[in-house]
Amino acid sequence: MIETDRLILRQNVATDFDAYRAMYDDPEVIKHIGNGQPGTEQDNWFRFLRVIGHWKVLDYGFFAVIEKQTGLYLGQTGFSDFRRELGGDFDPYPEAGWMFAQAAHGKGYATEAALAAHEWFDRERGRQRSVCIIDPPNTASIRVAGKLGYRAIGERPFRDASVLAFERLP
């Protein structure tokens, strides 16, 4: 578990699923993720299990981000290995990500949580190259990436769209 001034970061547990699903069902939250359409119950459940599974297999993954004051599930941040087939300068590296419920937008939670997750990852695994992808119109997420030390390395085709790839060097 990680604590910041306002947040608790911990592994997801089964009781987080309803809040997780609500986040993935919000069109405003997912407009820059995948095809921008809510998934089915099964899609959301499988995605949630994948988040939990990263920890079991890789000893890292996405943290649930909880607001200390209220106990609300605000979103998630951390690292993954999604094997996106984006190339040798992307796929072998831990992929960072962050996603937050609409109620958390514009409050600095994404930066605060992602910084804490990156500091944890650097302590636990050693500072190493990491990557992330962002939908080009998602300027808020691009700003967060910049605050974390990521720099753009180019556009990549991903599924039926184009994404911006970023790297953070040791």
147 lies in some domain: no
Check whether 53 has a pLDDT greater than 70. yes
- Round to whole Å and give the CA distance between 50 and 82: 9
73 lies in some domain: yes
What pLDDT does residue 134 have? 97
- Round to whole Å and give the CA distance between 49 and 84: 18
Instruction: Specify the pTM.
Output: 0.94
12 lies in some domain: yes
pLDDT in tens, 62-104: 999 999 999 999 999 999 999 999 999 999 999 999 999 999 9
The residue written with tokens 């095809």 in the block is 35
Domain count across the chain:
1
Check whether 111 has a pLDDT greater than 90. yes
The residue written with tokens 């040791």 in the block is 170
- Whether the Cβ atoms of residue 51 and residue 70 lie closer than 8 Å to each other: no
95 three-class SS: strand
84 lies in some domain: yes
Structural domain for 122, as ranges: 2-126
25 lies in some domain: yes
| 35 confidence band (pLDDT: 50, 70, 90) | low
**For 14, which DSSP code?**
G
134 lies in some domain: no
- Round to whole Å and give the CA distance between 125 and 59: 10
* CATH code at position 76: 3.40.630.30
